[in-house]
Chains A and B, each alone.
Chain A
């Protein structure tokens, strides 16, 4: 639709017309602000905890384990130098006492959601799948944070939660 609109504007005499072909779906999935009835505050991105620990695949588990515990978390995301999520260390990996590399201990390819996902849909998913949280990544795979179920349920109107 936007290519037709852009051409129409040119035919109406506008000289500098640009077409953002990926549109608002791309904008929102990257975690950028959205206005309207379903503004950014109603989306997952606004309620994600961004202080979740992250580490690199070459890090050693004994150091990561200490850091994650000190921060009060029971999970850690494994990211590359650009912040793209490669894997996750869950309770099982963090409770091991051997000193291996993060790459050897991590679970690959955790499921993630976009910051643009509506909060009520995220809560519904966590309740159905009995999850305590959902990792949130931008459309380029960069970690945003974790949406904790308790935070998400608290943020919804009471009539929306199970």
Chain B
């Protein structure tokens, strides 16, 4: 439509993403944390859509919300003690954690201020799916195939770990 609504939804989605992410990290209720991830992942998909990356937005919903989040929740529900669990790890030293956090924050800040950000041109949204497909099968064919082989190996490995040995008599 126009600039006002783009800005409005950008602020709304960013706030939702940040606040729900904070809730995920800070809450002690493991199941609620997993369900709050839904809002984070979904608003990130909305942000992709605002950046006119429609394909990536939909794939984000499909893979992260429909696949990974469901598997996370599934895993949590199958574990034994999900009630009143303290998520604080006593073995972890607060000092070293703080050092790592500061280093990570510095790296992120350097990336944020050091990058030449592309400014989205115009307000109309261009379809990207066909272009993505063409680029994947021409210029980035090798990385694309390497990623596919990696995923295939991961699937076979997961099956190998999960399978049950059938004892021969």
Q: Are the chains A and B members of one assembly?
A: no
Taking beta carbons and an 8 Å cutoff, which residues of A are in contact with B?
none
Taking beta carbons and an 8 Å cutoff, which residues of B are in contact with A?
none
